[in-house]
Amino acid sequence: MSKTEITKIGVIGAGTWGTTLANLLAEKGLSTDLWVREEEVYTQIREERINKMFLPGRPLVSSLSPVKTFEEAICDKELVVIVVPSHVFREMLQNMRPYLRPGMGLISATKGIENNSLKMMSQVVEEVLPKEYMDSLACLAGPSFAKEVIIKQPTAVTIACRDHSYGERLQRLFSTQSFRVYVSNDLVGVQLCGALKNVIAIAAGAADGLGFGLNVRAALITRGLAEITRLGVAMGANPMTFAGLSGVGDLVLTCTGDLSRNRTVGLKIGQGIGLEEITKGMNMVAEGIKTSISAYELARKMNVDMPITNQVYEVLYRGKDPRSAVKELMTRGLKRELEN
């Protein structure tokens, strides 16, 4: 990526998180264009300075510019931030490709694993774009509900990339008095954390929906972290990443926070509501629903024991009763807590 100062940024995706990040950057005085898919949202942001569909009641800075085309969002930019659901990430990247150029910075703020390929977003970028783009690719993750960031509640996140000096530039770019950014070089670990915590959050929500207490929630978070770490280490991640903001930080937030879409899905599952009915009533994506398929298959592929993830998959896609899933987790063979 060029060493010149980053002043022009395109954000792809005007959902809750994409709009929030774009607004944060525009508030810092950076020229920021936000690509919007929905005509209604585009009009709202342009004319009323609000995104009623995803961030109702939260005014957006006047300098934030909504745009309709990838050409407008990308062509003259030094940095592009991609904030779209994981199941459309590849398609969106392919559509963006004609307007991208080597040396342009790319940040993925998407938390998921592609279903068919079992690839993280950085691996999708590696497949779709030439190799030179990987040097300027970064991923942003960490405990960050958009609805708290937009009102400047103190938040800390992690940006991961291969080049530390590039990471430091992005760190300075995104940091504000209320949004603190740390740097990591563990692209694999940070992305796995961001994706897999959503699966564990569905389990935690289901336990709450079943009426279980705080003991089981704490157990699910802790043992969920253990199985996420096992898979991460098997895939070459730094085990310390899972003790950081993108790991235990995001996991705790997503498993306990009322703003968590994935916990809400689990809560309704535990209350006996079917997955089809749940998804019909949602206007935002709960990444854990699709990621549970990828996580289940990835665990089998890597021969890693992930019992909580397996039970979430069984409940969501094979009709297993949540109470039976809890019973199986509690009656598994006894073992050591810590592994070598």
Catalytic residues: 197
Whether 27 contacts 58, CB under 8 Å:
no
Q: How far is CA 162 from the centre of its chain?
A: 19
- Tokens at 249, concatenated: 């930080």
Three-state DSSP class for 81? strand
Closest Cα partner for 182 from 136, 137, 143, 228? 143
Rounded (10°) angle between helices 121-128 and 86-96: 30
Q: Give the separation between CA 127 and CA 104, rounded to whole angstroms.
A: 17
Starting at the edge strand found earlier in the chain, the sheet holding 137-141 runs 65-67, 31-35, 8-12, 79-82, 105-108, 137-141, 155-161, 179-184
Helix (H), strand (E) at residue 181: strand 179-184
Q: Quick one: tokens of 8?
A: 């022009």
CA distance 63 to 42: 14
Angle between helices 307-317 and 187-209 (to 10 degrees): 60
CB 202 within 8 A of CB 261: no
> Do 38 and 68 form a contact (C-beta atoms < 8 A)?
no
